[in-house]
Chain A
C-alpha cells in the first residue's frame, strides 16, 4: 500500500524557546506533539501521548541517548523511545508517532497530519 500525504506546517515556537535536552508540548492541528531540542541543536517532534500509560506526558520526560540514538524516557513508567523513529526500546510492538520538524529563521515548525 502507498498513500500520499501532504504536509501542513504549524509554527510551534522559536528555536530559542527550547531548552537544550528538554521538551515542550504543542498543539499541532489538534494533536498533542512533544518537541525536543537535543544537546547538538537537533529538533525532534513525536507524539506527546505515552501509549504505555495512556497519559499525554512525553514532553516532560528526560532526554538522553541510547547508543547513538537520541531518546526520551516517559516520566510515567520510564519507557524509552527513539526520538528519530518513535520506536520503544525493549517493547518491539510499541511505537509513537513521529512528526517532521523544520527549523528556519529561528522558527520551529511541525508538520501536522493531512487535514482531511
Chain B
C-alpha cells in the first residue's frame, strides 16, 4: 500500500480524500490527513450561516464515521505541518514525522491584512475560520459600531454578519465601487443603494490610513486618506486572501511572484511527488479563490494517483452573493460582443446579459436586485437564452426548460440529466437530491433550480406556509426579526405575494407578538388575528365566545370565586371547571364581552389566554403548602411560572404543570413542560402532550435550583418559538430536532449555538413588557368598537343565537346540520339608491 499525506483538511482537501476513497476500489492508497484547525473540514462557503444560527456541526463536511476506520484513512486534528523534507519524503509536525509516497498540499489561503498602522490592535478581526467567527461574535457582544475593510464579496458577507450581530455597520472600500472585480459601474451603484437600504453605510473610494486605539488599548477609530475619522468598536479585514504557500517555499518548491504554489494542469508542483490543490495552488499563473476549481483539482489528483490521466480544464467563476434580501449574481463572461442591459431603479433591479453578436449564445451576465434567474441563466451559458429575452427584461424572470446537459450545480459538476436520474431513482425533495448527487451541497445557489427541476419532473414538494409566502414559519421568523419588519403589509409586499390568508396571517401575527410588537389588537395587527385573538376569547360552536379568567396555579380566593359566580349568573353563562384548573364561562355574545370583562378586571382578574396560541395554564398540586408528602412548594412555583409566561405567543398553545413530589398529582409529564419536585430541587421534563398523538415528556435535567430551572424553561420556550413550524407542538418539534433532547441540551445548557444570551434577553423582554390584553382593551375606545353584534344596530343581540337548558344550565340549541347553499344565480336589475 502506498501512502498519501494530505496537508490541510479544508473544503478541497476533504473533497480530495472523499474522491480518492471512492475511486480507489482496490485499496491502493493509505491516506493521512494533517489538519491545523481543531475541527474536521467544514463548509467555509456557508460560513456566514453561523450567524443565522447554523452550528459548527451543521457546517461540517465530513460524513459521520468517515475517519473512524483507523488504518487506511486517518485524520489528525490540530496538527500543523511545519516542514516538508522532500529528500527523505516525510512531513513533520510538532508531534512527529509522517512519511509519504505522494504529498498533497491543500493549505488554502489566509486573509490578507493590509499593513496599515494599528492593523493588529485588539478588536481587529479576519473572516476565514469558524474560530475567527466565534472570536468576532464574542467581541461584538454589547458593542455598537463595526467596520469592514473591503467591499468585495467577502467584505459584504462580513458586513452582513456584523449587521446580524446588531452592530451599526460601515463598509470601507478603496476602489470607487463595491465588488469592483465582478460588477460594472451601474451594477455596483444599484448594489450600493440596496446595501444602504439595509442600514449599512458604504464608503467607496476610501483609503484606510490607520487605526487608532482608545484608552483601553483596543481599536477605537479609523482614520481615512482624506483625514476623516470614524469611531468604531471593531474592525474586520476582508481585503482579499493570499495563498498559504509558506511550506512549499521552505521546501524549495517554485511559487508564483505574487504567491501560490506553482502547478501544471495535472496539479503537480515542481516536485513530481508533490501536488497542490485548492486555494493554495497557482494553476498556470492563476490562483482561484473559489471552491469549484479546487474541487476540480481534487478530482484531477485523485485520478492521477490511480494512474488515470486527467488534467484541469479551467473553471466556472460564477458567484452569487448570499446576503439576506439582496441578490447579486455574476456568471460566465460578463463582457460580450453584445450587451443587453435592463435597469429599473424604482425596484432596484439591474441585469446585464453578455451575448455573442448574433444574440444566439449567452456568454455570461450580471444580476443585481433580483437574481432569481441566476441558476437557470448560468446553466444556459454557451447556448441560447432560455425563453424570450423580452420576458426576461420585463420581469427579471426566465421561463423555459434547460437542456439535459446544462450544468445545474457548477460547484459539483452536476447536470440536469444527473438530477433527473436521481429523481427517477426516487429522490423526492431537495435533501434527497443533495444526498444523491451532491448538487446544492456547496454554495447552495442552485437549490432554487433544484426545486424547479423537481417541479418540472412533477414531484410535489413544499414547505411554504401557503401560496403567499415561499417560506416556512422559521424562515419567516428570521426574516421578520433580522430585517426588523413590523407589519404584515411590509412583509407581504417585500417577501410574499397577494394579501395573505387564514394560514399566514395568524402565523405572522404570532411572530410579531413573539417579537414584542405591542398589543395584538393594535393597528394593522388586529386584522391578522384569528377570531379568537380578535375578540380575546374562544369561538364556540354557536358563534358565542368563552370567558376564562386567569387563575394562576389554580389558587383562588373565595371572594374571587363569588365574583365569577355572580358574573356567570348575571349573564346566563354556562360554567365548567376545566382540566387546567380554571373556570370556563361559556356562551357570551360578542357585544357582552366588554361588560363581562369589566367586572372581572375590576375584581382583579386578568385574561387567561384561553384563546390564541399562547401559554395557557400551569397546573399544580398542593405541594408543601398542604400535602403531607410534598417536598417543594409546587403551588408557589406554578404561580410564578404562569405569571412569567402569561401572554407568550407561540406556534401552538402551551401547557405546563408542577407536581410537589414524585407522586405526580399534577400530571406534569403530560405537558409541554413539566416540573416535578425532588428532595434537592426540581426535575424538568420537556416535550409532553402531543395532542391527538399523546406523548410523555422527556426528562431533561434533574435537581435544578429554581433560578436555573426558570432559565432553562425560558430558553426552551424561546428556542421553540423561534424554530418550530406553524402549529407544531413542542412534542413534534422535539422529535423533529436533529439530535433530539441531547441537541436541545447542548443549545440551552451548553450554549453551543451562542444563542442563550439572545434567548434570555428575548424572554426578559417578554416578561418586562407584559400587559393584560383585556385591561388594555377596556381602556381603549377604539379597540372596544369592534365588540358589537351589528355595525348598524349596536344594541341588537344576535337573533341566531339560541339556547336550551340542559342539566340546569344554558347550552347552545341543537347544532344545525351544515347546509348546502347552491343553485341558480338570478339576474338582477340595478336600482341606484
Contacts and interface: CB of A to CB of B under 8 A. Distances in A.
11 contacts: A12-B791, A13-B791, A13-B792, A21-B499, A25-B798, A26-B790, A51-B818, A64-B468, A64-B502, A66-B498, A100-B828
A49 B293 CA distance: 65
A55 B462 CA distance: 33
B506 A54 contact: no
Interface in A53-92: 53-57, 60-67, 70-71, 73, 75-76, 78, 80
Given A20-B527, A26-B790, A64 B499 contact: yes
Given A25-B791, A64-B498, A75-B531, A5 B816 contact: no
Contacts of A104: 833
Interface in B534-555: 534-535, 539, 541-543
A71 to B, nearest CB: 7
Nearest to B796: A27
Interface in B749-789: 786, 788-789
A2 to B, nearest CB: 6
B800 interface: yes
A40 to B, nearest CB: 9
A62 B499 CA distance: 11
A9 B833 contact: yes
A71 B504 CA distance: 14
Given A62-B505, A76-B539, A94 B829 contact: no
Contact of B822 (A26, A35, A93): A93
Nearest to B826: A3
Contacts of B826: 3, 5
Interface string A100-114: 101010000100000
Contact of A51 (B534, B539, B821): B821
B26 interface: no
A27 B792 contact: yes
Nearest to B789: A25
B230 interface: no
Interface string B224-247: 000000000000000000000000
Contacts of B833: 9, 102, 104, 109
B811 to A, nearest CB: 15
A38 B500 CA distance: 11
Interface residues of A, number: 57
Interface in B513-528: 524, 526-528
Given A60-B534, A97-B821, A53 B502 contact: no
A89 to B, nearest CB: 10
B520 to A, nearest CB: 13
Contact of B501 (A7, A66, A93, A96): A66
Nearest to B466: A64
B539 A65 contact: no
A56 B797 CA distance: 12
Interface string B792-807: 1100101010000000
Contacts of B541: 53, 55, 76
Contact of B502 (A20, A27, A80): A80
A78 to B, nearest CB: 6
B313 interface: no
B22 interface: no
A32 B800 contact: yes
Contacts of B793: 26-27
Interface in B443-477: 467-468
Contacts of B535: 60
Contacts of A7: 828-831
A15 B235 CA distance: 55
B693 interface: no
B578 interface: no
Interface of A: 1-7, 9-13, 17, 19-22, 24-27, 32, 35, 38-39, 49, 51-57, 60-67, 70-71, 73, 75-76, 78, 80, 93-97, 100, 102, 104, 109
A94 B501 contact: no
A54 B815 contact: yes
Interface of B: 467-468, 489, 498-502, 504-506, 524, 526-532, 534-535, 539, 541-543, 590, 786, 788-793, 796, 798, 800, 815-824, 826-833
Contact of B539 (A3, A9, A26, A57): A57
A13 B786 CA distance: 13
Contacts of A3: 826-827
Given A75-B539, A78-B502, A96-B821, A24 B829 contact: no
Nearest to A104: B833
A67 B498 contact: yes
Nearest to A72: B502
Contacts of A71: 501
Contact of B820 (A4, A57, A60, A94): A94
B351 to A, nearest CB: 27
B821 A65 contact: no
A35 B829 CA distance: 21
A95 B498 contact: no
A65 B502 CA distance: 10
Given A7-B828, A102-B833, A54 B817 contact: yes
B543 A55 contact: yes
Given A13-B791, A13-B792, A27-B792, A65 B498 contact: yes
Sort A-B residue pairs by CB-CB distance and give the 7 closest, nearest first: A54-B816, A73-B502, A75-B531, A64-B501, A9-B833, A65-B498, A24-B791
A87 to B, nearest CB: 9
B815 A63 contact: no
Nearest to B497: A65
B819 A54 contact: yes
B770 to A, nearest CB: 26
A21 B527 contact: yes
A17 B829 CA distance: 28
Contacts of B824: 1
B505 A64 contact: yes
A92 to B, nearest CB: 8
A5 B824 CA distance: 14
A65 B826 CA distance: 26
Contact of B543 (A51, A57, A63, A94): A57
Nearest to B539: A75
Given A13-B791, A94-B821, A104-B833, A55 B501 contact: no
A7 B542 CA distance: 31
A55 B800 contact: yes
A65 B499 contact: yes
A24 B501 CA distance: 18
A116 to B, nearest CB: 14
Contact of A100 (B468, B500, B529, B830): B830
A9 B532 CA distance: 32
Contacts of A95: 821-823
Nearest to A92: B822
A65 B504 CA distance: 11
Contacts of B798: 25, 32, 56
A56 B798 CA distance: 9
Contact of B530 (A56, A57, A62): A62
B501 A57 contact: no
Nearest to A14: B791
Given A24-B786, A25-B789, 4 more contacts: A24-B791, A26-B790, A57-B539, A93-B822
Given A62-B502, A73-B501, A51 B819 contact: yes
B684 to A, nearest CB: 35
B833 to A, nearest CB: 4
A95 B820 CA distance: 7
Contacts of B815: 54
A8 to B, nearest CB: 8
